[in-house]
Amino acid sequence: MTTLNKINYLLHLADNALIIGHRCSEWCGHGPVLEQDIAISNIALDYIGQARNFYQYAAEIINSENDPSLGFVLPATEDSLAYLRDTPDFKNNLIVELPNGDWAVTTLRLFLFSTYQFYLYNQLVNDADTQLSAIAEKSLKEVTYHLRWSGDWVIRLGDGTEESKLKIEKAIEYLWPYTGEMFINNDDSISSDWNKKLSSIFHDATLTIPAKSWMQEGGLKGIHTEHLGYILAEMQYLQRAYPNSEW
Amino acid sequence: MSYSIIKLYYGDYGEAKNGAADISTNNTPKEEWPLWEIFIRSKQGLDHKHAGSLHAADAAMAIENARDVYTRRMEGVSIWAVESKYIHASVPEEAGSLYDPANDKAYRHPTFYDLPDEVKYM
């Protein structure tokens, strides 16, 4: 792996965590019940923590290269990577930037994505890069809980009332075309493990897995949906309007 | 007359129909989830202590909610959840007959012994 590829890969992991963390944080104060509001805000904080670890590591490598032609603001920091890159620079999967929609979309998205993360981090734990494997190991515990929590919700909604089932079926239809992108550049084992987990949870939830279909992609290359720009506008406003401001 | 106000927040664009963060003033009665009492053990070897109560649809959700509500600052290593309706409580009106008789029996407290300084936590 070239150094630039390595940086881009770390940014991909960081952007995924940051953007889905931001989406989860949008529920803060709006959760359907107090307890779930706190649960999803906790999850948001876990993700922001993961993003920080990946950004810090990426910044370390960028600074040790110290090469302006790589196209990063120097010296790089976790903040410059999160707040001073534009939409086309972000390398997150499209699925994490989609709007929260209702509770069914939010929890299903979290389930689809954290299942993927679970198997990915399980693999990264054995990575030759010890810093990457350490971050993966720390994050894996958090993701294991996210997976359990969101999987429970998929089962509850799918095997719940007529209305809840209708809502989660709509959510599946909406999110499904964005699931394929997660497996680009990854081992086949991740996608087969993901499918197995999905089958078992959907079985308990009495839900049907959609047929194979055309999949959306582009996030890895910086081609995003219109939603990412709105997220960044809100997230980056303060740093861009008042550079280097602190709490 | 009833008003229905839909307040949109950032991230809700185009999603109003989906009901994202739909803060409407419709006072449709909702079925509440049952209440659970939560007990947390803060360290191995200590007792579970009552931490508070919360709403959850079932026991599994009660444990998960308790994890998120009561242990996020590393307060616990074990959680018990008991549905509140199964807790039997003493009646406040009977407090007099239940507790007052213990008031004037100082001899039940082991306060008449001289403790060596080495003995802690008594």
ipTM: 0.75
Domain-embedded: residue A246: no
What is the model's pLDDT at position B1?
53
Is residue A165 included in any domain, yes or no? yes
Measured between CA atoms, the residue of chain A closest to residue B57 is A156
Inter-chain touch A102–B19, beta carbons under 8 Å: yes
Residues forming beta bridges with residue B80, ordered by sequence position: B39
A14 close to A76: Cβ distance less than 8 angstroms: no
DSSP assignments along A104-164, one per residue: HHHHHHHHHHHHHHHHHHHHHTT-SSHHHHHHHHHHHHHHHHHHHHHHHHHHHHHTS-HHH
Percent of chain B past pLDDT 70, that is, above it, reads 75
| pLDDT at residue B23, rounded to an integer | 44
Q: What sign does the dihedral B39-B43-B47-B49 (CA atoms) show?
A: negative
Nearest-CB residue to B20 (from A42, A102, A149): A102
Q: Give me the residue from B11, B19, B56 closest to A26, CB to CB.
A: B11
Are B9 and A149 inside 8 Å of each other by CB? no
B121's torsion region: left (phi>0), alpha (psi -120 to 50) or beta?
A: left
Question: A35, A46, A147, A228: which to substitute to probe chain B, counting the most B Cβ within 10 Å?
Answer: A35
Q: Which of B11, B18, B55 sits opposite A33 (nearest CB)?
A: B55
CB atoms A230 and B10 under 8 Å: yes
Residue A101 lies in a domain: yes
Asked if residue A54 lies in contact with residue A82, where contact means CB atoms within 8 angstroms, the answer is no
Please give the full DSSP string across A32-54, using - where no structure is assigned. SSHHHHHHHHHHHHHHHHHHHHH
Q: What is the CATH number of the domain that holds A212?
A: 1.20.1260.10
Q: Based on the structure, what is the number of domains in chain A?
A: 1
Averaged pLDDT, B38-45: 91
pLDDT attached to residue B8: 56
Q: Are A40 and A23 in contact (CB under 8 A)?
A: no
CATH of range B31-87; options 3.30.110.60, 3.30.360.10, 3.10.20.520, 3.50.30.10: 3.10.20.520
pLDDT by residue, tens only, chain A of 247 residues: 789 999 999 999 999 999 999 999 999 999 999 999 999 999 999 999 999 999 999 999 999 999 999 989 899 999 999 999 999 999 999 999 999 999 999 999 999 999 999 999 999 999 999 999 999 999 999 999 999 999 999 999 999 999 999 999 999 999 999 999 999 999 999 999 999 999 999 999 999 999 989 999 999 999 999 999 999 999 999 999 998 888 7
Has residue A49 been placed in a domain?
Answer: yes
Helix axes A130-158, A188-204, angle to 10 degrees: 30
Nearest CA to CA, how far is B68 from chain A (Å)? 5
Q: Where are the domains of chain B?
A: 1-28, 31-87
Q: What residues make up the domain containing A92?
A: 3-241
